[in-house]
Amino acid sequence: MTRINDVFGALQAGGGKALIPYITAGDPHPQQTVGLMHALVAGGADIIELGVPFSDPMADGPTIQLACERALMHNTSLWNCVEMVAEFRRTNTTTPVVLMGYLNPIEARGLDAFAAYAKQAGVDGVLIVDVAIEEAPEIAPRLRAQGLDCIFLVAPTSSGTRIESIAREASGYLYYVSLKGVTGAATLDVDSVAAKLDEIRAHTKIPVAVGFGIRDAASAAAVSRIADGVVVGSALVSQIEKHQNEAQKLPEILTRMLAEMRAAIDSTHA
């Protein structure tokens, strides 16, 4: 069993839903990332998605673009991200960490070298935003060979046939993109998400987390009624942006924000 499967297994047994926060590694400063990861766990994170900064994040909205720029000002590299996970693992051996990013920084270091290094550091899964199933045959097996889960996106535009092929390549969980748009957009429609989740579940038993457009406790709770997990990204990252110059306050701010979402989610399933 992988750590990700353990988390979803335990949650499903208890009727709970996964809370999955996203932050960009190196934002606002590489030295703070591990502390922020622990703060997310303290706020109730079940899984952490750690963004690998990229100069050209074409699927991201302004909030995460700026987070990437802040991280790259300090030259946060892919290897730095992996090392942050290794450091996190010194005191946390249970919370799964998924690295989320774009293909080019990974290939620049070599896919196999990355997979081996990431596994050794305690990374559990990888989500490469610009690798869909079309290009996955050359990439996903090499990540799986190291025991990493390959997380794939499913979108409102994905047809039934595509969903089926995606589910065949995926492990850990599926990440359903709740809307047509980039990260940080604000128009999530719970009913249409629910309808698409039914369609996805007709094709696969893999847990489905929903992200894009979840910005507060209320929207997190609403989505948790229909999904197996809730991904929160830009809402957290915009707090980091706002408080980037008072970094000592950030862990507490993130913990509190996440704890509110945690409580709202848990109360809907109590």
State the catalytic residues. 49, 60
193 close to 226: Cβ distance less than 8 angstroms:
yes
118 close to 82: Cβ distance less than 8 angstroms:
yes
Using CB under 8 A, which of the segments 7-15, 27-35, 181-189, 217-225 binds another protein?
Answer: 181-189
Question: What is the pattern of x (binds another protein, CB under 8 A) and - over residues 43-82?
Answer: -----------xxxxxxxxx--x---x--x--x-xx----
Using CB under 8 A, which of the segments 101-109, 222-230, 245-253, 257-265 binds another protein?
Answer: 101-109
* 153 belongs to the binding site for another protein (CB under 8 A): yes
Sheet with strand 229-232: strands edge to edge: 149-150, 125-128, 97-101, 48-51, 18-24, 229-232, 208-211, 174-177, 152-154
173 close to 187: Cβ distance less than 8 angstroms:
no
* 105 belongs to the binding site for another protein (CB under 8 A): yes
* 94 belongs to the binding site for another protein (CB under 8 A): no
Q: Which of 8, 22, 88, 102 binds another protein (CB under 8 A)?
A: 102
Write the single-letter amino acid at 174: L
Return the half-sphere exposure (C-beta side, CA atoms, 13 A cut-off) of residue 143: 27
Write the single-letter amino acid at 242: K
The whole-angstrom separation of Cα 225 and Cα 266 is: 10
Give, as ranges, the residues between 116 and 135 that touch another protein (CB under 8 A): 129-132, 134-135
With CB under 8 A, what is the number of residues at the site for another protein?
44
Residues that bind another protein in the complex, under the rule CB under 8 A: 54-62, 65, 69, 72, 75, 77-78, 102-109, 129-132, 134-135, 152-159, 162, 166, 177, 180-182, 185
